[in-house]
Amino acid sequence: MALAESAFSGELGMTVELTKVPVENIKRSDTILFSESQSRFVVTVAPCNVERFEKIMKGNVFADVGEVTARQDLL
pLDDT (0 to 100) of residue 74 = 76
**How buried is 68 (Cβ within 10 angstroms: 0-12 exposed, 13-18 middle, 19+ buried)?**
middle
| Per-residue pLDDT tens listing for the chain (75 residues) | 777 787 778 888 889 898 898 888 888 888 888 877 767 788 889 999 999 999 999 999 999 998 888 888 777
Q: Please report whether residue 7 resides in a domain.
A: yes
Check residue 58 and give its pLDDT. 96
* Domain of 16, in residue numbers: 2-69
pTM, full prediction: 0.73
Number of domains in the chain: 1
pLDDT computed for residue 48 by the predictor:
97
Three-class HEC string of 30-73: HHHHHCCCCCCCCCCCCHHHHHHHHHHHCCCCCCCCEEEECCCC
54 falls within a domain:
yes
Query: Is 75 among the domain residues?
Result: no
pLDDT at 26: 86
* Residue 74 forms part of a structural domain: no
